[in-house]
Amino acid sequence: MSPETLPDLQQRFRATVLGNDDAPLSGLVQTSGGSLPARIDVYRNTVQSSLVDVLATAFPVVQRVVGEVYFAGLARRFIVGAPPRLPQLSTYGADFAAYIGAGDIHKQLPYLADVARLEWARGAAYFAADAPLLDPATLGLLAPEDMERKVFSLHPAARLIRSSFPIYRIWQVNQPDVTDVPAVDMSVGEDALISRPRYHVVTRAIARADAAFVAAIAAGGTLASAAAQALEIDETFDLQAALTQHFVNGTFAR
């Protein structure tokens, strides 16, 4: 075999073990014993099972909701259609929530894609870049009129997930230590904010007005304009109380 054909063979082998078709290797590979499909299946099962485990680690609540058997089938179908593109397993699964939302399971469990988005956000927060947290003491040096014009930056680990379903409650009651899952009112929407103060990922439900405030900050709004958007949703929005929780939980970097 000439060196020029090696990359092509590698691509064919990758397509074969990450898919369901043995044809890419037909005529290119010889076996010393056993059929080619049987020997390929050994590699295919090893590779795909490993990737199923990667997805199960990233989406444990999704797996618990649908069950291990269904999740494995769902994950394998995703793997065939969207194999890894980067040699970094922590990045694999970024499109899994969208895949769930576009599939048949979305009709039965319409909240599942948003739960997957929340779980992926938690993983992304864990691997996000480090940055110092905003020290609230520095804000005390500002005049009130300057404070209103300030633009806060979200910490690289901060993630806001907004949903028309109770995604935080679903995530909360499907943790490993919860053995008796209570009924959840699916008519109640929730917004979740993920952050990573002191290198520990925190997931918490926040009010709709607070979510609007964070979304406005993320879009580059000033503190005053973001607060105004929150007040449009809830005229009782307490900016000071919200900021206190954001400082404690590391929402802002500067």
Regarding whether 158 and 84 lie in a shared domain, the answer is no
Domain boundary among 77, 109, 141: 109
Domain of 184, in residue numbers: 130-254
Q: What is the pLDDT of residue 27?
A: 63
Regarding whether 58 and 161 lie in a shared domain, the answer is no
Domain count, the chain: 2
Q: Is residue 125 assigned to a domain?
A: no
- Each residue's pLDDT, cut to its tens digit, for the chain (254 residues) gives 444 577 877 777 787 788 777 666 666 666 666 677 777 778 888 888 999 999 999 999 999 999 999 999 999 999 988 999 888 889 999 999 999 999 999 999 999 999 999 999 999 999 999 999 988 888 777 777 777 788 899 999 999 999 999 999 999 999 999 988 788 999 999 999 999 998 899 999 999 999 999 999 999 999 999 999 999 999 999 999 999 999 999 999 98
Regarding whether 227 and 134 lie in a shared domain, the answer is yes
Tokens 């999740």 found at: 71
Q: Is residue 8 assigned to a domain?
A: yes
Regarding whether 68 and 157 lie in a shared domain, the answer is no
Domain boundary among 74, 109, 144: 109
Regarding whether 4 and 105 lie in a shared domain, the answer is yes
Q: Note the helical H segments in the chain.
A: 6-17, 36-58, 60-66, 68-81, 96-102, 105-108, 112-127, 136-139, 144-149, 167-173, 208-218, 223-233, 239-248
Regarding whether 70 and 151 lie in a shared domain, the answer is no
Q: Is residue 120 assigned to a domain?
A: no
Q: What is the pLDDT of residue 63?
A: 98
Regarding whether 231 and 139 lie in a shared domain, the answer is yes
Q: What is the pLDDT of residue 1?
A: 44
Q: Give me the residues paired with residue 202 across strands.
A: 195
What does pTM read for this prediction? 0.88
Coil, helix or strand at residue 250? coil
Which CATH number is 212's domain given?
3.90.930
Regarding whether 76 and 11 lie in a shared domain, the answer is yes
Q: What is the 3-state secondary structure (H, E, C) of 109-140?
A: CCCHHHHHHHHHHHHHHHHCCCCCCCCHHHHC
At what angle are helices 208-218 and 239-248 packed, to 10 degrees?
A: 70
